[in-house]
Amino acid sequence: MAQNDAVPADVVIRSPRIYAMSSGNATHGAIAIRGDSIVAVSPAVHGLDGLVEPDTCVIDDPALTWLPAFHDTHNHLLEATRNATFVPVSRAHTIAEMIGLVRDRAATTPSGRWIQTANAWHEDKLVERRLPTAQELDRATRDHPVLVRRGGHMAVLNSLGLERSGITAATPDPPGGRLGRRPDGTLDGMLEGGAQYALVRVPPLPIDEQIAGVEQMCRLFTASGIGTVRDPVVSREACGSIRRPRSLVGCRCGFVRCCSSPRTDRSPTASRRSTASPLAAGSGMSG
């Protein structure tokens, strides 16, 4: 892009190693950014000095290498957001420690509100090498429904969670899922496969908390050099947290969502749509 001397840049980067990663293997010596856009490049390190004014931020470091930010084509951004905000049970080494972490969260959570755990853990890391039971989770709290999620295919509810979900010993296993039962047929709280998705309805977090979580993860991803992520599974409800105006989200990590919706016919578009979100902002560069 040719230099535009009429309007100063917000940021000018000087480095002999600014790689465009294009088919021509272009290397630039300087790049100018205005707002969310790259407005000029130059092969010379000082080739864009005409766009520098007193308020321009100049990054001049010949030791830095600059690349376009990565586009992650399969990244569960919203799942990562939940894992960052829910109870971090991956820190537990025993079921007792897990219960303690849930109890600590219950102490600061209004009575009656759902408590959920991050799902990035595995029972093999626990001394007991098994999932907790509903009765064990009841030791953490009887005033909050609790959903302990492990990965995307296993979960455990405490007794109030089972009650809120309308799950009883008479509830049949849903298609593609299974309820954990003791030898006498009573429930132990486990939900396997699609059972948690078919039977459990947890109200979404307040939208402000969802936005704050997305902002936190976008900053983390941006700092890691990821400029755009594609989340392959986003529920209709969760789409609200990424449909906010850019002025509210203030996030420089682009986002492409595939929002799931209830199927009303057999056409592929009835079950999934892929769109770019308002989060798609930023310079697209990583240094």
What would the pLDDT profile of 92-114 be if each residue is shown by its tens digit? 999 999 999 999 999 999 999 99
Asked if residue 228 and residue 165 are part of one domain, the reply reads: no
- Asked whether 227 and 201 are in contact (CB, 8 A), the reply is no
Residue type, 121: W
Model pLDDT, residue 267: 33
Tokens of 212: 């704050």
Domain that holds residue 230: 207-286
pLDDT of residue 86: 94
Percentage of residues of the chain with pLDDT beyond 90: 55
Cβ atoms of 29 and 75 within 8 Å: the answer is: no
Q: Is the confidence at residue 4, as pLDDT, over 50?
A: no
**pLDDT tens-digit profile of 10-60?**
999 999 999 988 877 788 999 999 998 899 999 999 999 999 999 999 999
In this structure, are 170 and 262 located in the same domain?
no
233 and 274 assigned to the same domain: yes
Number of domains comprising the chain = 3
Q: Check pLDDT > 80 for residue 183.
A: yes
Residue 248 pLDDT exceeds 60:
no
> Taking each helix axis from N to C terminus, what angle separates 77-85 and 207-223, rounded to the nearest 10 degrees?
110
pLDDT at 238 over 90: no
Residues 211 and 195 in one domain: no
pLDDT tens, residue by residue, 113-164: 999 999 999 999 999 999 999 999 999 999 999 999 999 899 999 999 999 9
CATH number of the domain bearing residue 182: 3.10.310.70
pTM over 0.75: no
Percent of the chain at pLDDT exceeding 70: 79
Mean pLDDT of the chain: 83
Q: Is the pLDDT of residue 243 over 70?
A: no
| Angle, vertex CA 217, rays to CA 153 and CA 32, nearest 5 | 140
Considering 132, 166, 199, which residue would you say is the last residue of a domain? 199
Could you tell me if residue 78 is inside a domain?
no
Cα–Cα distance list, 218 to 26, 81, 178, 226 (Å): 28, 9, 35, 9
Q: Are residues 59 and 90 in the same domain?
A: no
